[in-house]
């Protein structure tokens, strides 16, 4: 899709971005604002969201709204959805980016922290989609870019809950895309490999030496993801090495890929 087509898709349309205060979320905000999109920015820290929104409004002349909300809290996604709908604007695009991971053996993990991960990575994304999709279907335009991961293509020992949540995102997105076939509502799962963001520090894991060849920057990952969304691609894996890994996960026996993933995670100091 040409830059002109991309600008037409996003320009002066409203886009809601979860987890917008840092990492992928902030880069989605910057790149969408550069294409003329108005932004609804949401994350937990209001001061960061306001600073980013004001910066992008000054630089690109776009409008922005801020909703501070903890999506990992019970009822957080419903509260956000209600707040977004109450703004009285047509939200054309949703970037469901908020999420986190946690490294280590599951037996050593906090049950509460694991539940919080499932609530944010799966439940919040589902609730937001359920609340904001119907208006798009009624208008027959718009869509969701759901941030998943290559970890969703195979079992992921030592980040087992995280990988399982991302498998849910991939399956959920692909299922909805088929339900929406024939409409002009997009549904895309972006499945990045390892990327240098604050995710690794928060999850307590490191990018293994064996993974370095597949590392893309956050900015490049976001750019490619938006292009795939604009093309109408349903499941998109950025990077040749990551695509190969995703293909291998489809054709190799599940326990083979689980053993290989365990080896990688041990290389990250988590085995």
- CATH code, domain with 137: 3.40.50.720
The larger pLDDT score, comparing residue 230 to residue 267, is at 230
166 counts as catalytic: yes
- Is residue 251 helix, strand or coil? helix
The pLDDT of residue 178: 98
Alpha-carbon distance of 65 to 260, in angstroms, equals 44
Instruction: Give the active site residue among 13, 48, 162, 229.
Output: 162
Report CA-CA distances (Å) from 29 to 132, 172, 255: 19, 24, 39
Domain of residue 166 covers: 3-267
Please give the Cα distance from 21 to 170 (Å, whole number): 24
Residue 265: band (very low, low, confident or very high) from pLDDT cuts 50, 70, 90: low
Q: Which segments of 121-243 are extended strands (E)?
A: 142-147, 185-190, 235-236
162 annotated active-site: yes
Q: How many domains does the chain have?
A: 1
Helix, strand or coil for residue 196?
coil
- Residue 60, pLDDT above cutoff 50: yes
Q: Which pLDDT score is estimated for 2?
A: 74
Annotated catalytic residue: which of 166, 168, 229, 236?
Answer: 166
Q: In terms of pTM, does the model score above 0.95?
A: no
């Amino acid at each position: 899709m040409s830059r002109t087509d991309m600008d037409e898709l996003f320009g002066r349309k409203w886009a809601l971005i979860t987890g917008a205060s840092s990492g992928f979320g902030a880069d989605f905000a910057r790149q969408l604002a550069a294409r003329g999109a108005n932004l609804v920015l949401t994350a937990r820290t209001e001061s960061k969201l306001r600073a980013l929104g004001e910066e992008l409004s000054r630089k690109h002349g776009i409008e922005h709204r801020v909703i501070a909300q903890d999506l990992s809290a019970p009822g957080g996604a419903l509260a956000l959805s209600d707040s977004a709908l109450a703004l009285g604007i047509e939200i054309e695009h949703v970037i469901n980016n908020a999420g986190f991971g946690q490294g280590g053996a599951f037996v050593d993990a906090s049950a509460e922290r694991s539940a919080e991960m499932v609530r944010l990575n799966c439940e919040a994304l589902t609730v937001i989609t359920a609340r904001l999709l119907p208006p798009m279907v009624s208008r027959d335009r718009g869509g969701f870019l759901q941030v998943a991961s290559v970890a969703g293509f195979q079992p992921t020992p030592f980040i087992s809950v995280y990988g399982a949540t991302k498998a849910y995102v991939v399956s959920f997105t692909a299922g909805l895309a088929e339900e929406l076939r024939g409409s002009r509502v997009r549904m895309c799962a972006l499945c990045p490999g390892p990327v240098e963001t604050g995710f690794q520090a928060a999850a307590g894991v490191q990018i293994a030496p064996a993974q370095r060849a597949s590392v893309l920057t956050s900015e490049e990952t976001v750019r490619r993801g938006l292009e795939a969304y604009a093309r109408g691609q349903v499941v998109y894996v950025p990077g040749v090495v990551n695509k190969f890994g995703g293909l291998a996960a489809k054709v190799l026996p599940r326990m083979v890929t689980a053993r290989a993933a365990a080896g990688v995670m041990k290389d990250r100091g988590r085995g």
